[in-house]
Structures are given as structure tokens and as C-alpha cells.
A and B are shown apart, each in its own frame.
Chain A
């Protein structure tokens, strides 16, 4: 089955700087790659996603890049703000079974 690895597990960034979180996946058939932000005790909240027919997608301060050949994708947050502090998860799914496999998570802390 799909295996998604995520790095780093923790990340501290000065407010205003950029944060980058990276994920790799194993199943070459995977075609949907969402990123979620999760507050403690809450459901994951989709912040951005990308499909395999696109290499990059941007939404204001958030961007995601996908390298299908290398099977890795990254989340980029620019101009970080204190409210960006949370746990972020990457995930991947394939068209066959729709199962969403999550990465191990990154605890992002924005230092004021």
C-alpha cells in the first residue's frame, strides 16, 4: 500500500519567514495530494491540494509543488504569522481505492 513520509517532524520559524514541509510517497499511481492543518482535538482542515497533472499551485501565502518523477511534494508557507502555528499533515490518495494515506505530521511553531 501507499507509504507517505513527512519531514521535518517539528519546525520553528521566525514570524515573517518562510516554512517548507516536504513529503514523499511510494505509490506511483497516487494522483491527489492534499495538505491539512489540524488544531488540537479538531478535524483536519484542508489548506491546499494538488493533483498529479499539475506541478505547482498557489493560494495567497501558501503553495504546493509536486515532482511526480521523484514522488515528492512540498508545502511552502511565506510571510508566516503566529496563527500559522499548528500541526500540518500531507496526504496522498490513488484513483483506485480513494484511500487517503497521511504523512506523520509536522508541528510548526511561529516565533513572534
Chain B
């Protein structure tokens, strides 16, 4: 089945620095990638939708200048958390529609800790 590879699986960074998270579709072309954030004991909240070759669509309340999303190719979407703060510490996970199964394929997630 379709596989989305997400890296890194965990990262610790200092306040004020930027962190890039990558999601690659390994055996299919992901024209769309959804980025979610999940705080402890909470649900997955959609942050933005990236589309290959066009600007990402952000959900209400998500700062597009802070969470930069790039989808430059059909197999790679990236999320950059800029000027990270401790409150950005969370589990970030990407997901792509799986055209084959008509479901969704999830990356393995990235645990971001900002100190």
C-alpha cells in the first residue's frame, strides 16, 4: 500500500530556532498533503493542506508565517516551524489521500520539543 515517510521522528530545539519536518510519499504521487498537530491527550487538529505547485491552505487560527509549508514536488511536502516556542511543542503528523484505497496514509509523526 501507499507509504508516507516522515522525518525526523523526534526533535529537540531551542526557543527561537526553526525546525523542518519532511514527509515523502514513497510509492505514489501525493498531490495533496494534510498537516496535523496533536497535543497530549487531544485529537488531531488539521493545520493546513498543501498542494503540489500551489500555496498551502491554512485552517483558521494557524499562522501561515510561523508554519511554512512547501510542496515543491509530487513526493515531498515540508513543514517548517519558524521561531519555535515551547508552546509549539507537539506531535506533528502528515497525511495524504491514498487514491488506491480511497483512504488516507499517515506519516509516522514528529515529536517536537522546544526548550
- A residues neighboring B (CB under 8 Å): 32, 34, 41-44, 46, 49, 89, 97-105
A–B pairs, 7, beta carbons within 8 Å: A41-B91, A42-B108, A44-B106, A89-B43, A101-B46, A103-B43, A105-B43
User: Contact check: which of A34, A44, A99, A103 meets B34 at CB < 8 Å?
Assistant: A99
CA of A34 to CA of B43 in the docked complex: distance in angstroms? Answer: 15
Q: Are B93 and A43 in contact (CB under 8 A)?
A: yes
Give the Cβ gap from B32 to chain A, nearest Cβ, in Å.
7
**Chain A residues touching B, majority SS:** loop
CA of A43 to CA of B44 in the docked complex: distance in angstroms? Answer: 10
B28-64: contact bitstring with A at CB < 8 Å (1 yes, 0 no)?
A: 0000101000000011111001000000000000000
Give how many B residues have a beta carbon under 8 Å from the other chain's beta carbons: 20
Give the Cβ gap from B52 to chain A, nearest Cβ, in Å.
14
Instruction: Name B108's closest neighbour in chain A (CB-CB).
Output: A43
- B residues neighboring A (CB under 8 Å): 32, 34, 42-46, 49, 91, 93, 95, 97, 102-104, 106-109, 111
User: Contact check: which of A32, A99, A102, A103 meets B102 at CB < 8 Å?
Assistant: A32
Tell me which of A43, A49, A98, A104 has the highest count of chain B C-beta atoms within 10 A of its own C-beta. Answer: A43
CB-CB < 8 A to A42: which residues of B?
108-109
Give the Cβ gap from B46 to chain A, nearest Cβ, in Å.
6
Instruction: Name B4's closest neighbour in chain A (CB-CB).
Output: A43
CA of A89 to CA of B36 in the docked complex: distance in angstroms? Answer: 14
Instruction: Name B98's closest neighbour in chain A (CB-CB).
Output: A46
CB-CB < 8 A to B93: which residues of A?
43-44
Instruction: Name B57's closest neighbour in chain A (CB-CB).
Output: A97
CA of A103 to CA of B38 in the docked complex: distance in angstroms? Answer: 12
Q: Are A99 and B46 in contact (CB under 8 A)?
A: yes
